[in-house]
Chain A
Amino acid sequence: MESIQQLFNGFGIAATLANFLYCLLGAVAGTMVGILPGLGPIAGIALLIPVTFGLNPTSAIIMLCGIYYGAMYGGSTTSILLNVPGETASVITCIDGYQMARKGKAGPALAICAIGSFIAGTLGLFGMVFLAPPLAQAALAFGPPEYFSLMLCGFIVLSNVTGGSLIKSLMMAVAGLIIGTAGLDPVTGEYRFTFDTTYLLSGIEFVAVAIGLFGIAEVLANVDQPLDQLEQSVIVPRFRDLYPSLRDLKASVGAMLRGAGIGFGVGLVPGPAPVIATYASYMTEKKISDHPEDFGKGAIEGVAGPESANNAACQSAFIPLFVLGIPFAPPTAILLGALMIHGVVPGPMMITEHPDVFWGVIASMYIGNFILLLLNLPFVPFFASILRIPKKILLPLVMLFCLTGMYTVNNSVSDIWLMLLMGALGYLMRKRAFDAAPLLLALVIGPKMEVAFRQSLMLSHGNFGVFFERPVSLVFLVATILFLVLPAFRFMIGRLGAGARNDGVAG
């Protein structure tokens, strides 16, 4: 009951005119960012963090969260209209969404996305209200060994499921941890890797790394292609074609509810939750469908389920961020950075120390979902028209905005240089198929991980057994080992099988 009372207080905070407007602004900006192919929620939040510097923490986080779920909504628009996912979680929506658009059903597909996301957001809100406080209570019992094991587990899971090579992802995660050690040692207060420059005394500027690795790298990756190849035909639906039929709605309701459940559960687990949730939902819908042969050819359940799962996962991913202070995915890692910039340290005490931020943001998510429903239903043709801006105009605009935004963080040109350096590095990483997400996540939680590691060893007088003796820590470590060993095992079996086939062919 106390949670419900607090949620009402949160609605009081989120519904003030100023916060409502920031929520609206964030949702609109996020939708636009999500619509632009390539510029996903990570780049969107990173680019717009500087805009929030003049705001109080609650308004700033409300706006940034609006950008996050707005971008997730917007990402589905390009998937359906262009077959180009605005962000990775929308990849699965391309399969049936684009097929629906080709059959002239872009409107129902977009509307189902909006309705499904709203329903999932509503269910996710109740999940958050009832789950976050007890989880925060449980998290109070977490000591440094549990935190360390949990963060280690998060890294390995993320490295495993980002789609590329596990070893490359692990190298990126370690690189992020190394970069994160620059500056003041969090335990002894000594300076490390500062190379006698004052610029590095406070560590590597996180916003510069985020904008560089994602925003600048994205722009450069677009610029190195012939521009005429980038412009694509856009299917802009008419207003009257926007609404799904009763039959469409009936076919989608079950998929939406299942997607919301799957998404909420997956969001609580370390890793890129929205991506995993959309895949899990799609496979579930295909498996239980009476007409699995329609999947891939424009099945509405193939849009409704994954989009609901996507939204629910985004929402529940805030639970580990807020109550444990640990982001399990790159967008929430950036939000953690933004929270800390605004003086709010997430963790088990956040609910009691910053109830206005915690409950205000949770309530604003519901308001934001409602705003997005209203925006996405009638204004999809307007948002889709952003795609008509030629890239040769859009890319310079994004670059200018990156440079300006970066300068405003500390009024420092050095930050711009660091951002450009990271942009070049991010571009090369893309070209060589290295995923930047583990690096960014490691950079954010690296210092926390180091403190947890060193505190654990201090507590145990240098005995590594402390990580295995405590049950919760042991569970996370076993999960970590499983996630490390299983892909290697699968890989070796695949290699042996392929080797045997090759020998057979040769013989």
Chain B
Amino acid sequence: MKRAELIEGVVIFLCGGLTAVLSLRMPVGTFRMAGSGLFPLSLGIIMMLLALLYVGDLLLRRKGVQGYSGKAAAAAPGGAVQMLLFFGASALAALGLNTLGYPLTAFLLMLLLLWILGLRRPVLLVILPLLTAVGSYLLFVQFLKIPLPKGLIGL
């Protein structure tokens, strides 16, 4: 756990450092007339200092003494794969949205997500995505008049 926290600290330190470096490419100016880089540069430096404090505290923490780090939670076994599949399916939907169009993407996404979460009854696997796709299409496109991608089926 401590190793993971140390990695967190280092990653945050590097993020702060990257912000500071990128800010230096912008005009920093003076305190009297601050340039666009001054504020992000200050933030990058503060981020690095906070990360150093965090790492320093981790390294100094004695065994059996509780520090002020929050308690991290671990994913349940098998749950991580389910979560990754769920997330991947959502990313696929984003990828196919413009090509397939909203109603078809909504139908396929629901079908896939329900299947990933263990729904296996064929009737429900068809009816629920169909109802959701039609319902959300009616709500957004017909009722709220918000245009959504038409895609292949042209709806």
Could you list which residues of chain A lie within 8 angstroms of chain B, going by C-beta atoms? 50-51, 53-54, 164-168, 170-171, 174-175, 177-178, 181, 185, 187-188, 190, 192-193, 219-220, 223-227, 229, 391-393, 395-397, 399-401, 403-404, 407-408, 411, 413, 416-417, 420, 423-424, 427, 430-435, 450, 453-454, 457-458, 461-462, 464, 487, 491, 495, 498-499, 502
Contacts and interface: CB of A to CB of B under 8 A. Distances in A.
A227 B149 CA distance: 33
A60 B144 CA distance: 13
B47 A224 contact: no
B36 A188 contact: yes
Given A226-B79, A499-B65, A417 B47 contact: no
Nearest to A417: B94
Contacts of B78: 226
B132 interface: yes
- For B31, B119, B132, the residue with the greatest tally of chain A CB atoms inside 10 Å of its CB is B31
Nearest to B7: A432
B94 A400 contact: no
A177 B93 CA distance: 31
B104 interface: no
B110 to A, nearest CB: 5
Contacts of B117: 223, 227, 391-392, 395-396
Contacts of A396: 109-110, 113-114, 117
A433 B72 contact: yes
A491 B61 CA distance: 12
Interface in B87-110: 87, 90-91, 93-94, 97-98, 102, 106, 109-110
A427 B33 CA distance: 40
Contacts of B142: none
17 contacts: A167-B53, A170-B50, A174-B43, A178-B47, A190-B36, A224-B79, A227-B117, A404-B102, A407-B102, A408-B148, A411-B147, A420-B94, A433-B69, A457-B34, A462-B33, A502-B62, A502-B65
A192 B22 CA distance: 9
Contacts of B123: none
Nearest to A177: B43
B86 to A, nearest CB: 5
Interface size class of B (residues with CB under 8 A): 35 or more
Given A226-B76, A454-B34, A462-B32, A403 B93 contact: yes
B4 interface: yes
Interface of B: 4-5, 8, 12, 15-16, 19, 22, 26-27, 30-40, 43-44, 46-47, 50-51, 53-54, 57, 62, 64-66, 68-76, 78-80, 82-83, 86-87, 90-91, 93-94, 97-98, 102, 106, 109-110, 113-114, 117-119, 128, 132, 136, 140, 144-149
Contacts of B72: 431-433
A178 B40 contact: yes
A171 B50 contact: yes
Contacts, number: 190
Contacts of B44: 178
Nearest to B77: A226
Contact of A462 (B5, B30, B46, B147): B30
Top 9 nearest A-B pairs (CB, nearest first) are: A433-B70, A462-B32, A396-B113, A462-B31, A164-B70, A392-B117, A224-B83, A224-B79, A185-B36
Main SS class of interface, A = helix
Nearest to B109: A400
A498 B69 CA distance: 16
Given A175-B47, A401-B136, A392 B12 contact: no
Contact of B86 (A170, A399, A404, A499): A399
A403 B90 contact: yes
Contacts of B54: 167-168, 171
Contacts of A177: 43
A424 B94 CA distance: 15
